[in-house]
Amino acid sequence: MTVYSHSRIASFEKCPKQFHYRYVLKIPAEREGIEAFMGKRVHEVLERLYEFAVRGQIPSLEQVIFRYHAFWDEHYDDKRVSIVKSGTPPSFYRDLGVRCIEYYYRRFHPFDQTETLGVEEEVQFTLDDEGKYAMRGVIDRVVRGQDGAIEVHDYKTGRYIPAQKELNQDRQLALYQIGLRDRYGDDQPYRLVWHYLQRKEQRTSNRTPEQLVALRKDTMAVIDQIETAEDYPVQRNRLCDWCEYKDRCFAEHP
């Protein structure tokens, strides 16, 4: 049985050909956009920051930035990491990551406003009662808020902030909420929280039980579509330049 993730489903919706390369043929990624590379390093360092903070050992901002640079140097490979916006040096993105971390650190230090229940927390759940539609995901941080609400926190390092209407329909964090309800029950409210680090902003959203029922149904319908797909057409889109299979795809489908 295939276990689905939000990114697996989103890949199919965005471009079935990309889904085919990534999840059917399982072709290893040939390249990675530097924006995604920087986002991963920021996530790693914030994960580590909270691992220390929950033990009462809060690192200084300088130590956190030092660790970020160490992660960057450890992973950076200029043959694999691609810069789509030509003429922009890697240092531009490296510095952007530093600014994201500085903002977050200064805003939330000493990191005790809320209770951290988990960092990079894996959730596994099914969308149906029979267990046919299995899902998994990894939550950046699970939190108990001051009002007792269970919060799903997500860090974003890109510039784009969706309109509130879009966030109110966002699938990813709402699916994670479904996963957490199995663990924490329904006795308290839930909240979805996005940190737009580059823009220094935060957004929240809530889901009603009815919305979650509809989300389960809609997501199962997309999974049915994926499972019965007979072909995987190319669907060019605005993110093709960042697609890890662009060279292969454009050569195979000129």
Binding interface with ligand SF4 (CB under 6 A): 15, 17-18, 234-237, 240, 243, 245-246, 249
Residues 17 and 234: beta-carbon distance below 8 Å: yes
The strand pairing partners of 150, in sequence order, are 144, 190
Nearer to ligand SF4, 143 or 243 (CB): 243
Q: Least separation, in Å, of the C-beta of 35 and ligand SF4? A: 15
- Cβ of residue 15: shortest distance to ligand SF4, in angstroms? 3
The CB-of-28 to ligand SF4 minimum distance in angstroms stands at 15
Question: Nearest distance from residue 234's CB to ligand SF4, in Å?
Answer: 5
Residue nearer to ligand SF4 on the CB measure, 21 or 196: 21
Residues in CB range of 140: below 8 A, 6 or more apart:
43, 46, 47, 119, 120, 153, 154, 155
Token pair listed for 57: 């050992």
Alpha helices in 20-89 (DSSP H): 34-53, 61-75
Of 15 and 178, the one with the shorter C-beta distance to ligand SF4 is 15
Closest CA to 173 of 130, 143, 128: 143
Least separation, in Å, of the C-beta of 238 and ligand SF4? 9
* Minimum CB distance to ligand SF4 smaller for 89 or for 233: 233
Quote the distance between the C-alpha of residue 117 and its chain's center: 18
Q: How far is the CB of 232 from ligand SF4 (least distance, A)?
A: 9
Q: 17 vs 195, which CB is nearer to ligand SF4? A: 17
Q: Torsions phi, psi of 132, nearest 5? A: -80, -30
Q: What is the spatial distance between Cα 190 and Cα 170, in angstroms, rounded to a whole number?
A: 15
Q: Which is nearer to ligand SF4, 29 or 213 (CB)?
A: 29
Contact predicate 143/117, CB 8 Å: yes
